[in-house]
Structure 1
Amino acid sequence: MSVCRTLSSTMPRPRSLTPEDLAAAALAVIDRAGLADLSMRAVAQELGMGTMSLYRYVPDKTGLEALVVDHVLSTVDTRPPAADWPDQVTALVHRVRDAIAAHPNAVPLTMTHRHRSPALLRWSEAVLEVLAQAGFRGERRVVALRALLGYLIGAVQLEHLGPLSGPGTAAMAAQSEFPLLAETATAGLGVPDGFRRGLDVVLRGLDGS
């Protein structure tokens, strides 16, 4: 038996990684250190491998980000409850919000990678099925889905990047040059469940569209 054959039979085989492995490692980096620290090198270190070896599985950092978004949303239940369509949509929207809220450092990725996430596409299909059964057709259904996506993504980002209880709202509340803005910001500091109430406004508008 040759030396080469002996070595090949005793050396461990290279680790085989799944997309879930990569996404979990990248998400661990984001949760611990923030989105700015996400890199191919950081994820490779998280996995205990060389950076160049990571390129066997994912082409670049953008690919990692897309995997993270899909990983975060993969647990979202896309089965609507037995209810009227506004309550069905409300449940579906809140499930995505809750999944994203569990990893606030990854919130910005939901905007930039929403079209690359099969999980979010499945969710969108579920919402469209609810809207179709409620009688939404053609352009009305297009507008409804875009309005719901726009509200969901925008409101979640505001909740985590510029919350009503945050310094931005407090600064606006202190404005004397813009009295209506100051009054509104002051009132906003104590608004309970602003996400649900804003979604109700969107749904009422869609119901009358």
Structure 2
Amino acid sequence: MVRARYTLDDIRSEALRLVDRDGLAALNMRSLATALGTGPMTLYNYVRDREGLEELVVDAVISAVDLPPPTSDWRRDTIQIATVTWRAVRAHPAAIPLVLTRRSTSAAGFAPAEALIAALRRSALGDRDLLAAFRAILGLIMGSAQAELAGPLTSPPATAKDTAARIGTLAGRNFPHIEALSHVSQKSSPEADFTRGLKMLVTGIAAA
């Protein structure tokens, strides 16, 4: 029996490296085959089409989440799981659109969601509140990543501080609350904003 030259993990990892380096537009059978040193037809033994390649990229991002071991403190666990998931997604900005629009299709890709639900369940929430809490935290993770991805208003891409300043300038006196908050934003960072918002959200969940 002939041993497979590649594993699915090999292909998944190389697909993510390709997206990190060259962007989503570069992801196709031919470019990935070239990066692996093989022909496009070889890849069809592992993945059916472009959609399958995109699913592999999502799996590569999500399965790399370094989950902390569970403790007796569900709030701490929830914050840590959400934070490491956000950092893993944020580490691959070119892949964020796929993470936002495609589901993970591997067992490893379900691990962060399973860990988050398990932590929230220890809060003794009812089933419907548990679902709402899970979706709220997942929405914060993905929404924060998406907002940062779409943030720059200038070319080349600006820093978060520059983006906040630009928003404040555009808002001006016509939108005083936005303009005022833009000054606060310039003194913060995406990680600080995410952490503060996450803690507020978990506090609200605990109050429920």
Mapping of 1:180-191 within 5 angstroms? Answer: 180-191=177-188
**Residue in structure 2 matched with residue 100 of structure 1 by the alignment:** 89
Q: Larger Rg: 1 or 2? A: 1
Residue 79 of structure 2, aligned match among 74, 87, 90: 90
Count of equivalent residues: 197
1:138 and 1:20 map into 2 onto residues whose CA distance is 35
Residue 175 of structure 2, aligned match among 171, 175, 178: 178
Mapping of 1:16-165 within 5 angstroms? Answer: 16-162=5-151, 165=160
Moved more, 187-196 or 134-143: 187-196
Query: What RMSD in Å do the two structures reach over aligned CA positions?
Result: 2.2
Check whether the contact 1:26–1:43 (CA below 8 A) recurs between aligned residues.
yes
Q: Unpaired runs of 5+ in structure 1? A: 1-12
State the AA in 1 paired with 2:201.
V
Question: Identity percentage over the alignment?
Answer: 35
State the AA in 2 paired with 1:187.
V
Check whether the contact 2:58–2:104 (CA below 8 A) recurs between aligned residues.
no
Check whether the contact 2:117–2:134 (CA below 8 A) recurs between aligned residues.
yes
Moved more, 90-99 or 116-125: 116-125
Moved more, 124-133 or 97-106: 97-106
- After TM superposition, the score normalised by the length of structure 1 is 0.84
With CA pairs under 8 Å and 6+ residues apart, which has the higher RCO, 1 or 2? 2
> CA 1:34–1:167 in structure 2 vs 1: closer, same or farther (change >3 Å)?
farther
Check whether the contact 2:161–2:185 (CA below 8 A) recurs between aligned residues.
no
> CA 1:127–1:161 in structure 2 vs 1: closer, same or farther (change >3 Å)?
same
Check whether the contact 2:162–2:186 (CA below 8 A) recurs between aligned residues.
no
Check whether the contact 1:79–1:126 (CA below 8 A) recurs between aligned residues.
no
Check whether the contact 1:80–1:89 (CA below 8 A) recurs between aligned residues.
no
**Residue in structure 2 matched with residue 200 of structure 1 by the alignment:** 199
> CA 1:171–1:206 in structure 2 vs 1: closer, same or farther (change >3 Å)?
same
- After TM superposition, the score normalised by the length of structure 2 is 0.84
- SS for the counterpart of 1:17 is coil
2:19 and 2:118 map into 1 onto residues whose CA distance is 34
